Amino acid sequence: MSSTTAAAARQTTWLITGASRGIGLELVRQLLAAPSNLVIAACRAPSTASALADLKAGAKGALHVVQLDVADFAGIRALPGVIAPILAGRGLDYLVNNAGILKGDTALTLDAAVLLETLRTNTVGPALLTAACAPLLDAGGRKTVLNVSSGLGSIAGAGGFPGTGPRAVASYSMSKAALNMFTYKLKMEKPEWVAITLAPGWVKTDLGGADAALEVADSVRGILKVVTEATVADSGKYLRWDGAVLPW
Ligand SMILES: NC(=O)c1ccc[n+]([C@@H]2O[C@H](COP(=O)([O-])OP(=O)(O)OC[C@H]3O[C@@H](n4cnc5c(N)ncnc54)[C@H](OP(=O)(O)O)[C@@H]3O)[C@@H](O)[C@H]2O)c1
């Protein structure tokens, strides 16, 4: 084995959805700081993802940008074929289901189309992408799936979030509660994998807003510590960005 091939074989491989901005973009940025990471950043519109393009320019081949709309099931099914040549025989160590949407509504004002779009993006897309990537995850060393959930997916914790309250963002909260259950089902089906559902905190992004409590860099630093230190003993857990266990 040449030294270049040996170095590639030791790389840790990541697939991150919703990488054009916010938490997804910062995950890519922080992962690229370690030369041992090979990052595949998936976004809806690579041609307009200028921040990702800037990162790619300085990434020395460690960043690959691929197109993926997580609400497009055909695109999800095709994705393993798109990323297999990038992985070049390596498995996928980490799948990060990060892409998500939030639309404000309540239980009695929700619009069916909004609820379905939210479930499609925040729950069904991550579930189908995980299934599509299962053979690549099986071939990976870490076999880790990180579902970026929300504290708003917690029924036990409902009401504890400033500005939201127990009635607000019903469709979103339902989609994240379902994502949490998907994570638990995944742990039961794949005991050799590490499946984590994680709340990133209230973060200053387009989704979180400027009044949010956390800088995106701090949340992502915590998320990466939690996910890279997680073992199968942590699989099926609902964790916060700082590692605290959340109530379901
Ligand atoms: N910020 C917070 O306070 C907070 C709190 C709890 C949980 N979260 C969760 O954290 C994750 C990231 O949120 P964020 O704060 O970074 O939000 P953000 O700044 O609004 O970014 C959302 C990302 O998701 C992508 N996305 C949305 N729909 C997509 C689709 N159908 N296909 C592919 N990509 C799609 C967006 O891509 P485009 O650029 O193409 O729109 C964007 O890259 C979400 O799952 C969110 O629910 C955030």
In one letter, which amino acid is 226? Answer: V
pLDDT surpassing 70 at residue 7 = no
Q: What does the DSSP 8-state code read for residue 207?
A: T
Considering only CA atoms, which residue is closest to atom 19 of ligand 1? Answer: 22
Q: Give the Å distance between the CA of 9 and the centre of ligand 1.
A: 31
18-58 residue pLDDT tens: 999 999 999 999 999 999 999 999 999 999 999 999 999 99
pLDDT band at 3 (very low <50, low <70, confident <90, very high): very low
pLDDT surpassing 50 at residue 189 = yes
Ligand 1 atom nearest to 71, measured from its CA: 31
What are the φ/ψ torsions at residue 9 (nearest 5 degrees)?
Answer: -65, -25
Q: Give the Å distance between the CA of 205 and the centre of ligand 1.
A: 9
Considering only CA atoms, which residue is closest to atom 45 of ligand 1? Answer: 100
Query: What are 92's two structure tokens?
Result: 């996928």
pLDDT surpassing 70 at residue 107 = yes
75 lines ligand 1 (CB under 6 A): no
Instruction: Give the Å distances, CA to CA, from 150 to 55, 73, 169, 199.
Output: 27, 23, 12, 4
Instruction: Give the Å distances, CA to CA, from 12 to 38, 77, 133, 149, 248.
Output: 6, 23, 16, 23, 31
126 lines ligand 1 (CB under 6 A): no
pLDDT band at 166 (very low <50, low <70, confident <90, very high): low
24 lines ligand 1 (CB under 6 A): yes
Give the whole-angstrom CA distance, residue 137 versus residue 193. Answer: 8
Please state, for a pLDDT cut of 70, what percent of the chain lies above it: 92
Give the whole-angstrom CA distance, residue 47 versus residue 44. Answer: 9
Angle at 177 between CA 171 and CA 180, to 5 degrees: 145
DSSP character string of 162-188: TTTTTTS-HHHHHHHHHHHHHHHHHHH
* Residue carrying structure tokens 């990471």: 37
Give the whole-angstrom CA distance, residue 91 versus residue 114. Answer: 36
Query: From the CB of residue 136, how many other CB atoms can be counted at a distance below 10 Å?
Result: 21
Give the whole-angstrom CA distance, residue 210 versus residue 25. Answer: 17
Angle at 244 between CA 240 and CA 248, to 5 degrees: 70
Considering only CA atoms, which residue is closest to atom 34 of ligand 1? Answer: 18
Give the whole-angstrom CA distance, residue 5 versus residue 145. Answer: 26
**What ranges do the domains of the chain cover?**
3-240
CATH topology of domain 3-240: Rossmann fold (3.40.50)
* Residue carrying structure tokens 């040449």: 2
Helix extents (H) in the chain: 3-9, 22-32, 50-57, 73-87, 112-119, 125-132, 134-138, 170-189, 216-229
Tell me what pLDDT residue 9 has.
59
Q: Give the Å distance between the CA of 113 and the centre of ligand 1.
A: 19
Give the whole-angstrom CA distance, residue 78 versus residue 9. Answer: 24
